[in-house]
Amino acid sequence: MNEEQLLKTPLHDLHLELGGKMVGFAGYHMPVQFPLGIMGEHKHTRSKAGLFDVSHMGQVTIHGANAALDFESLVPVDIFDLKPLTQRYALFTNDQGGIDDDLMVSNAGDHLFVVVNAACKDRDLEHMRSNLSDCNVKMLEDRALLALQGPAAASVMARIAPETSDMVFMDWRPLDINGIRCFAGRAGYTGEDGFEISIPADAADDFARKLLAEDEVEMIGLGARDSLRLEAGLCLYGHDLDSTTTPVEANLLWSMQKVRRADGERAGGFPGAEVIFNQLANGASRKRVGFDVVGRAPVREGAELQDGKGNKVGQITSGGFGPTLEAPVAMGYVSNEYSTIGTGLVALVRNREIKVNVAKMPMVEQRYHRG
């Protein structure tokens, strides 16, 4: 896809004005970094507050008398018991138990508000419309999505929208900011405290500038977004998760509440339930783990993992330099018998052997505000 064919977010002109280095990403023209640089942007987010344009994500509303129960037919997650004005991480699974996308679902009171990944949103929309025939499923085409992340995010938001002060991690609520109807969830993709704010597209530029006028806030690109989420042990769809990877293999069992498991009150009923329940009972052949990398050379996606005898035992799915740790970090999949923390393996990088050790995730402590 050439540059002329790439879609633009409502903040495109602002990105250019701020000196953003633009690249194609999921069909959009997006900033990979700003003059501060990926390292500086990463550290600024960890110490103060970073503003991310995530308007390329899909924002969907689902209305229906039984929308929550109907939605459970698509995900191995408890949506029916999700309290009003809260949100939850979820997974679209397929008949083989694989993950077709990961998403956020909010109980907006009289409807569900769903945010899906940019590269999957057209497919996801068709999936929901085809399988939720009793619901009205609508993609919101006229909204932007901004993420304010970092230890100063809460104080910045409190100045602009005081009603966010009592929100805790995974709360969601409608806001009125200077007469503009917004939705905000206290969550994010960096491991830091923060908010994701849905705002009308025509108000996004002014709102972003208002946030950037605060001393603590800098605009952050895709490069630092990736290094932040990697240190926080968070998956990137299409890399660490895909349609051949089950929630058990992906080490995402925490996202499957007991009520939806084999012995739960509303067990199963979602695609691939039998495959997933079998792995829950008997184990999976592989597992997603984190890695400490010995030395300074990064180990990137696609690198083969071997045991001490030259046998392939896994593969890196995400890797790079962790600015907070000042060291390379990575995650990937290994055969289950090699998944114990501390297990030493070898990663092949351009025919060079680099030692790695299975490590606990997240690599950097998550600092969500839980109250």
Would the pLDDT of 198 be above 70? yes
Look up the domain containing 164 and give its range. 3-56+141-231
Nearest to 207 by CA among 144, 139, 140: 144
218 lies in a domain? yes
176 & 296 share domain: no
Which residues are bridge partners to 321 per DSSP? 328
pLDDT band at 351 (very low <50, low <70, confident <90, very high): confident
Mean pLDDT of 347-352: 94
If you ran DSSP here, which 8-state letter would residue 138 be given? E
> Mean pLDDT of all residues in the chain?
97
Q: What is the CATH number of the domain that holds 321?
A: 2.40.30.110
52 & 149 share domain: yes
**H-helix segments, the chain:** 12-17, 37-47, 67-71, 121-131, 153-160, 201-212, 222-231, 273-282
Would the pLDDT of 3 be above 90? no
148 & 52 share domain: yes
Would the pLDDT of 1 be above 80? no
201 & 303 share domain: no
220 & 293 share domain: no
48 & 189 share domain: yes
42 & 166 share domain: yes
Given 231, 260, 294, the domain boundary residue is 231
- pLDDT cut 70: percent of the chain above it: 100
Mean pLDDT of 184-197: 98
280 lies in a domain? no
201 lies in a domain? yes
Would the pLDDT of 245 be above 70? yes
Domain count, the chain: 2
161 & 289 share domain: no
- pLDDT cut 90: percent of the chain above it: 98
Q: What is the CATH number of the domain that holds 150?
A: 3.30.1360.120
370 lies in a domain? yes
Given 185, 203, 231, the domain boundary residue is 231
| C-alpha torsion 120→125→126→132, nearest 10 | 130
The per-residue pLDDT for 89 is 98
The per-residue pLDDT for 119 is 95
Would the pLDDT of 32 be above 70? yes
Mean pLDDT of 343-349: 97
Given 231, 247, 277, the domain boundary residue is 231
Would the pLDDT of 185 be above 80? yes
Would the pLDDT of 63 be above 80? yes
Q: What tokens appear for 109 in the block?
A: 């009171």
